[in-house]
Amino acid sequence: MNLDLPLIFAFLMGVAVLAYVVLDGYDLGVGMLMPAADAREQELMVAAIGPFWDANETWLVLGVGILLVAFPMAHGVVLGALYLPVAAMLIGLMLRGVAFEFRVKAEGWHRELWNWLFWLGSFIASFAQGLMLGRYITGFDSGFGYVLFGLVVGAGLCGGYVLLGATWLIYKTEGTLQKKALAWARWGLLWVALGVAAVSLATPIVSHTVQMKWFDFPRTLGLMLLPLATLAAWIWVWRSTGRLSRGAAGAQDWAPFAGAVAIFVLAFTGLAYSLFPYVVMERLTFWDAAAHPSSLRVVLIGALIVLPFIVAYTAFSYYVFRGKARAGLYD
């Protein structure tokens, strides 16, 4: 049986990136929400992400590793063009990690300082990721308009992560903090709606390839299902947060997070459709950039061995730490 190895690795890389965006996205969002909470609530917020946040970054390492090994030509182009935002993202992630650990031992204003640094690291990492995505969509073209587009995508992704973080807190907490998270989720929803609208309007303008793929009627009529499904998920989150705010019978605290994840999955699906088959927009396809088939076969064997362990560990950790977060878990 002849396997289309570049396509298989493109799929695996996409799954790894989507898993990272959803899983690390919510704890980045929680980090950006830290200044809006008081000291007791901050302890609950840390407890809500503490068992998971470090392992969530494994998916980023996996995605970049697949890009390096399976698509070496694209790896040099992508990371070379995104050197500064990648460096900023890594600085943000390192700052967040250091702040998370040091705040445990700190007292008084020192803990407050590390909380602010945790917020700063989360914001830098989130904004840098959005900026990288914006630059990637435009094929790294230079010019004020392209840079502005990247900044808009960066701001939009920060809003999306805040939505994920707020809905995760709705699921993992209760009482006053959960009520605050319900309000944060609604603000995040409005920010996401604004960001998605702005990016959707701007993307066909900055990318001729995307414009052709979106408006190639009647072939793309089926594509209209994606924005309709995204709108349905948006309404689902809005209504579920409203029911929880009113204390309606039968309201489920997992529903807003499930809806937020659906919004990200649908947006990622639309992005994948828009970019395919390019790994570097309008320059390199997955087949052009792929390593030799013999190398891909060896790497595929390793990926099929490693992936089940990553999935199993992730599932096991979420099972062990299921239920509501408890304050003092990291004191």
pTM for the whole thing? 0.91
Task: Assess whether pLDDT exceeds 60 at residue 172.
Answer: yes
Average pLDDT over residues 166-181: 91
pLDDT value of position 161: 94
Rounded distance between C-alpha atoms, residue 33 and residue 105, angstroms:
21
Q: What share of the chain is helix, strand, coil (3-state, %, to 5)?
A: 80, 0, 15
Strand partners, 285: 278
Q: H or E stretch including 283? A: none
Average pLDDT over residues 290-310: 87
Backbone torsions φ then ψ of 279, nearest 5 degrees: -95, -25
Rounded distance between C-alpha atoms, residue 9 and residue 213, angstroms:
23
- In this structure, the number of other CB atoms found within 10 A of the CB of residue 228 comes to 10
Q: What is the dihedral of CA 105, 106, 111, 116, to 10 degrees?
A: -70
Lowest mean pLDDT across 45-54, 100-109, 190-199? 100-109
User: Most confidently modeled of 1-5, 87-91, 319-323?
Assistant: 87-91
Q: Which residues contact 172 (CB under 8 A, 6 or more apart)?
A: 48, 324, 325
DSSP 8-state assignment for residue 278: E
**pLDDT level of residue 149 (50, 70, 90 thresholds):** confident
pLDDT value of position 1: 44
**pLDDT level of residue 330 (50, 70, 90 thresholds):** low
DSSP 8-state assignment for residue 38: -
Task: Assess whether pLDDT exceeds 80 at residue 3.
Answer: no
Rounded distance between C-alpha atoms, residue 95 and residue 101, angstroms:
10
pLDDT value of position 261: 94
Q: Where are the beta strands (DSSP E) in the chain?
A: 278-280, 284-285
More confident of the two residues 247 and 305: 305
Rounded distance between C-alpha atoms, residue 183 and residue 166, angstroms:
8
Task: Assess whether pLDDT exceeds 60 at residue 249.
Answer: no
Task: Assess whether pLDDT exceeds 90 at residue 256.
Answer: yes
CB 170 within 8 A of CB 179: no
Cis check for the bond before 35: say yes or no (omega within 30 of 0): no
Both tokens of 27, joined, read 């704890």
For residue 320, what are the CA distances in angstroms to 190, 311, 325? 34, 14, 12
